[in-house]
């Protein structure tokens, strides 16, 4: 991966793709040059989903380390190859994006892609854990919170990965614990770019492409309210939800998804929105100026205000669940956070998590900000005091008149954490390895014999809800060839989502120009020589005048 100043010469591809060759027999028989089973030895089966299956493997040809091989199956189960409908859009996206985004420690790295018969094998670096599995481990008896340093490190690395995606104009759109991998050395890696897509300007109605994105528990309020012009902020909401889940070991907004009706219209997710309101209070136009322009704005009136917080949040002298209520009001955002502060207090009190202090609450509140324009960006979050300040401020001081760490007598100690290893310093915690089943090691399938492996049910992996890697069953869009209204399957274990996928998408619209005919160039023809010479001359002149100035053009 060299990013020299010179142009790459294409001499050395990073991956060895195995192409197809026409056989002499006829034009239709493309022969795979190298088979997946020649290059990799499958150790076991990890998980399956609507897209296909994931296997753990080692290299047969000297590759070091372990690998996760994601196999996209060519067809829906049981359908004949005759009905082959092309590579799904999510597979195309994932192949394309993973090929570009290979240069960040916190995004799962693609090793190579092998196309064989009608299957696509995407080979990734292997990650021993994922956040879902880690959370699950902590709910086992005795239920015990994740170490504060681990949470801090996970959040930091996750945000680094998200920032990398966003600076590369990629929205992930499906961040959730199951999609966040963790290696045995504590590196956090964002996985499953199957729903990710590019949003580069103009941010133009991404809604048309995939009507529903993000598994429901992690879905941002603007999406729930029907916004069609969503932004990177939707990923940050999901990060906030993940943060909360790392703290409490439960999804913070565990709503039930309303199913699409037969007309394929997207229903208002009232239950999910109510779950958010229960903790965050009702969104207001003061806090979120564009709220009233949300398509589902009128639906807000059908929701119940949160039980405890509506009054207190507007009467500053009211009872406060803990601590002192400040006379001097904290930033305006304080009032409408409903019960979040209470939630945070109850979650962290009397546990090691108190050491995350007030900054932890503030970061959480800024990620779970209703207004997407005010919501923290990944870059902002990375320089939040939660990460940058050497010691944490006790939570109680948040509302204290004398807000300083000594006044409470509970000055929080610094949390030790590493920005690159979320397991650093852990002594009494051993996370179980990913479950790998031996039931199905049959990754490939012989030409013409059909795929037997896909139909097997693997109880070992499916039953636990853990051990899923790279996007489990839930909610993978199978937008086969862009057919309208495909519904993704349900997940198991944790989280379920339903995606209407791949409708007649409208991507980024450009300018409205059509193909310019040659006619427009009529004048140009006559100017060939002059223009060429002039351009050359101008160019030389421009170059001479400022030979060393920095290129300021933006590359689009």
Partner 1 sequence: MAANYWESTQRKHWLFTKDELAAMRAKLESDDPGLVSSFPLPQLRHLNIYFNQQSPTYLGFTLEINRLGKRMGLRQQALATAQVYIKRFYTRVEIRRTNPHHVLVTALYLACKMEECPQHIRLMANEARGFWPTDFQSQTEVARIGECEFYLISEMSSHLIVHSPYRTLTSLQGELGLAQEDVNLAWSVINDHYMTDLPLLHPPHVIALTAILLALVLRQDPSGRLPGTAASASGLVAASAALAQAQAQAQARAAMMAGGGQTVPGLAPQSSSGLQAMLPPQSPAGEGPADGNKNPRMAKVHRFAAWLSDSNIDIEAMVDCTQELISFYECHEQYNDKNTREQINRFVKARGLDK
What residues numbered 471-510 form the site for partner 1, per CB under 8 A?
Answer: 479, 481-483, 502, 504-510
Start-to-end CA span in the chain (Å): 22
Alpha-carbon distance values, 181 to 106, 177, 220, 232, 270 (Å): 9, 8, 22, 21, 31
Alpha carbons 457 and 193: distance in angstroms, whole number: 25
Query: Site residues for partner 1, window 526-545 (CB under 8 A)?
Result: 526-545
> Residue 464 Cβ, how far from partner 1 at the closest point, in Å?
33
**To the nearest whole angstrom, how small is the minimum distance from the Cβ of residue 508 to partner 1?**
7
What number of chain residues touch partner 1 (CB under 8 A)?
A: 101
Give the shortest CB-506-to-partner 1 separation in angstroms: 6
Whether the CB-CB separation of 61 and 164 falls below 8 Å is answered with: no
8 Å CB contact between 409 and 423: no
Question: Between 84 and 401, whose beta carbon lies closer to partner 1?
Answer: 84
- Binding residue for partner 1 (CB under 8 A) from 143, 259, 319, 515? 515
Distance CA 506, CA 285 (A): 30
Which of residues 99 and 418 has its CB atom nearest to partner 1 in the complex? 99
- Structure tokens given for 551: 């290129």
Smaller CB separation from partner 1, 164 or 361: 164
| Residue 330 contacts partner 1 per CB under 8 A | no
* Residue 345 C-beta: closest distance to partner 1, Å: 41
524 scored as a contact of partner 1 (CB under 8 A): yes
> How far is CA 49 from each of CA 318, 383, 411, 478, 498, rounded to the nearest angstrom?
50, 37, 48, 11, 13
- The catalytically annotated residue of 117, 130, 174, 440 is 174
Closest CB to partner 1 among residues 83, 410:
83
Residue spans of alpha helices (H) in 49-124: 89-100
Binding region for partner 1 (CB under 8 A) out of 55-63, 238-246, 459-467, 521-529: 521-529
Work out whether 433 is an interface residue with partner 1 (CB under 8 A).
no
* 448 makes contact with partner 1 (CB under 8 A): no
Question: Quick check: helix, strand or coil at residue 277?
Answer: helix
Contact status: 549 vs partner 1 (CB under 8 A): yes
Closest distance of CB 91 from partner 1, Å: 9
Give the span between the Cα atoms of 116 and 88, in whole angstroms. 16
User: Which tokens is 424 given?
Assistant: 């650093």
Asked whether 192 and 475 are in contact (CB, 8 A), the reply is no
420 near partner 1, judged by CB under 8 A: no
Nearer to partner 1, 413 or 534 (CB): 534
Stretch of 183-191, 439-447, 485-493, 520-528 contacting partner 1, by CB under 8 A: 520-528
CB of 419 to partner 1, least distance (A): 22
Binders in 150-179 for partner 1, by CB under 8 A: 167-170
Torsion sign (Cα): 210, 163, 97, 490:
negative
337 scored as a contact of partner 1 (CB under 8 A): no
Name which of residues 80 to 139 contact partner 1 (CB under 8 A).
81-82, 84-87, 89, 92-93, 95-97, 99-101, 103, 113, 115, 118
Instruction: Find the helix packing angle between 233-248 and 357-367, rounded to 10°.
Output: 140
Q: Rounded distance, CA 1 to CA 16, Å?
A: 14
Tell which positions 209-238 bind partner 1, by CB under 8 A.
Answer: 209
Q: Is the bond into 202 cis (omega within 30 degrees of 0)?
A: yes
Tokens representing 498 are 């339903």
Regarding 514 and contact with partner 1 (CB under 8 A), the answer is yes
| Bridge partners of residue 189, in order along the sequence | 181
Query: Is residue 24 near partner 1 by the rule CB under 8 A?
Result: no
Q: Is the Cβ–Cβ distance between 386 and 363 less than 8 Å?
A: yes
Query: Considering the rule CB under 8 A, would residue 22 count as an interface residue with partner 1?
Result: yes
- Alpha helices for 368-472 (secondary structure H): 378-382, 385-388, 459-464
Q: Toward partner 1, which CB reaches closer, 164 or 423?
A: 164
- The question of whether 529 is a catalytic residue gets the answer no
Active site residues: 174
């Amino acid at each position: 991966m060299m990013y020299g100043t010179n142009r790459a010469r294409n001499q050395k591809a990073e991956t060895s793709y195995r192409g197809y060759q026409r056989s002499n027999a006829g034009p239709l028989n493309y022969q795979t040059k190298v088979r997946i089973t020649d290059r990799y030895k499958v150790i076991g089966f990890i998980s399956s989903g609507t897209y296909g299956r994931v296997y753990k493997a080692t290299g047969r040809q000297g590759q070091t380390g372990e690998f996760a091989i994601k196999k996209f199956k060519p067809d829906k189960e049981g359908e004949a190859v005759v009905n082959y409908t092309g590579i799904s859009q999510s597979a195309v996206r994932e192949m394309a994006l993973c090929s570009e985004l290979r240069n960040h420690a916190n995004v799962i790295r693609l090793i190579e892609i092998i196309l064989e018969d009608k299957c696509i094998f995407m080979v990734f670096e292997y990650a021993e854990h994922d956040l879902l599995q880690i959370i699950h481990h902590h709910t086992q008896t005795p239920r015990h919170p994740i170490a504060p340093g681990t949470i801090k490190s996970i959040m930091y690395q996750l945000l680094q990965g998200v920032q990398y995606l966003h600076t590369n104009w990629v929205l992930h759109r499906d961040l959730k614990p199951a999609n966040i991998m963790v290696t045995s050395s504590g590196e956090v890696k964002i996985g499953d770019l199957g729903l990710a897509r590019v949003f580069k300007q103009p941010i133009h109605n991404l809604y048309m492409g995939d009507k529903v994105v993000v598994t429901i528990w992690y879905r941002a309020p603007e999406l729930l309210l029907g916004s069609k012009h969503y932004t990177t902020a939707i990923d940050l909401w999901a990060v906030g939800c993940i943060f909360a889940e790392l703290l409490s070991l439960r999804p913070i907004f565990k709503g039930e998804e309303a199913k699409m009706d037969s007309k394929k219209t997207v229903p208002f997710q009232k239950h999910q929105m109510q779950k958010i309101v229960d903790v965050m209070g009702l969104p207001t136009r003061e806090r979120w100026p564009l709220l009233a322009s949300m398509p589902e704005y009128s639906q807000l009136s059908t929701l119940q205000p949160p039980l405890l917080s509506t009054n207190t949040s507007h009467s500053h002298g009211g009872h406060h669940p803990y601590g002192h209520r400040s006379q001097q009001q904290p930033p305006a955002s304080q009032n409408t956070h409903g019960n979040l502060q209470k939630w945070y207090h109850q979650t962290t009190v009397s546990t090691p998590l108190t050491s995350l202090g007030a900054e932890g609450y503030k970061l959480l509140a800024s990620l779970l900000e209703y207004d997407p324009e005010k919501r923290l960006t990944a870059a902002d979050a990375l320089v939040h005091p939660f990460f940058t300040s050497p010691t944490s401020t006790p939570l109680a001081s948040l509302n204290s008149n004398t807000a300083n760490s000594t006044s409470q007598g509970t000055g929080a100690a610094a949390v030790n954490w590493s920005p690159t290893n979320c397991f650093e310093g852990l002594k009494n915690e051993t996370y179980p390895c990913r479950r790998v089943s031996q039931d199905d090691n049959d990754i490939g399938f012989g030409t013409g014999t059909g795929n037997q492996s896909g139909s097997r049910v693997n109880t070992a992996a499916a039953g636990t809800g853990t051990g899923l890697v790279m996007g489990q069953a839930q909610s993978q869009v199978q937008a086969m060839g862009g057919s309208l209204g495909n519904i993704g399957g349900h997940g198991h274990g944790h989280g379920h989502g339903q995606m209407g996928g791949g409708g007649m998408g409208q991507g980024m619209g450009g300018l409205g120009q059509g193909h310019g005919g040659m006619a427009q160039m009529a004048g140009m023809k006559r100017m060939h020589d002059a223009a060429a010479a002039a351009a050359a001359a101008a160019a030389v002149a421009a170059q001479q005048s400022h030979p060393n100035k920095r290129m300021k053009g933006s590359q689009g």
